[in-house]
Structure formats: structure tokens, C-alpha cells
Amino acid sequence: MPKRILAVDDSISVRRLQNLVLSAAGYEVVSAVDGKDGLAQLEKQTVNLILTDINMPNLDGIDFIQAVRASPAHRLTPIIVVSTVSEPARKQQARDAGATGWIIKPFSPEQLLAVVKKVAG
């Protein structure tokens, strides 16, 4: 059974790239357009890893991470931030909210796969 990854990003091109790269590597990918949609997806299914952007409409990445961590079902699910944001203060804010790691956009397919394999197996 393939590992399921939730990819949360308001950019359709980023979601498509993540889906293409991860699906080709044997992962099942579920996409969400923002944090609010991401939370709705988590109510429907279990995931092994979450990828999330920071700057999104409706519910940003930091608030999304906090909401995920508040749920007992997802308290231990790894969360990787995938964002253009690279300021140390924002990274610390994400870590404080419960993020496991960080990938800076733009990223290479190899970089994405390496991080996903390391965190989700």
C-alpha cells in the first residue's frame, strides 16, 4: 500500500509538480488548495506526510500547522513546509507551530524526493 501525502498549496503549478514527482515515485498524493481545504482533506483520510505552503488564502500555513497539531489523529504526522519564505524568524515560527522541516521554492524533483523519503520512508 503506497504512502499517502497531502500537498497543500494555492499554486496549481506547484501542486501539479508535487503530484507528478511523488506519484512517479510510488506515493499517493492528495491535493488541497489552502489550509482550510487541507483540514477538510484530513477529515476524510489518513496521510503519512503533509507538505504545506506558508502564504495561502483562507488559512495560511502557520495556522494550518497549528490546527493539524491540535488534532490527536495528526499530532505526530510529519509536516514539511514548502515555501519561498526563507527568513529565519518565519522558519522558527513554523517550527514552533509544529513543522518538521522546510524546503525552499523553487525546488528540484530530486530535492523533494530526498526529503519525502527521509521523513516518510
Q: What is the pLDDT of residue 105?
A: 94
Per-residue pLDDT at 121 exceeds 90: no
For residue range 9-38, what is the model confidence (pLDDT) as tens digits?
A: 999 999 999 999 999 999 999 999 999 999
The total of structural domains in the chain comes to 1
CATH of the domain at 25: 3.40.50.2300
Residue ranges in 11-108 assigned as alpha helix (H) = 12-24, 35-44, 61-70, 88-97
Residue 1 is predicted with a pLDDT of 81
Q: Where does the pLDDT of residue 55 fall: very low under 50, low under 70, confident under 90, or very high at 90 and above?
A: very high
Give the Cα separation of 12 and 98 in Å (integer): 25
Q: Is the CA virtual torsion 56, 19, 44, 114 positive or negative?
A: negative
In this prediction, residue 31 carries a pLDDT of 97
Q: Which domain holds residue 13?
A: 4-120
Cα(43)–Cα(18) distance, rounded to whole angstroms?
A: 21
Find the mean pLDDT for residues 37-59.
Answer: 96
Mean pLDDT along residues 57-68: 97
Looking at residues 33-57, what average pLDDT do you find?
97
pLDDT tens for each residue of 67-119 = 999 999 999 999 999 999 889 999 999 999 999 999 999 999 999 999 999 99
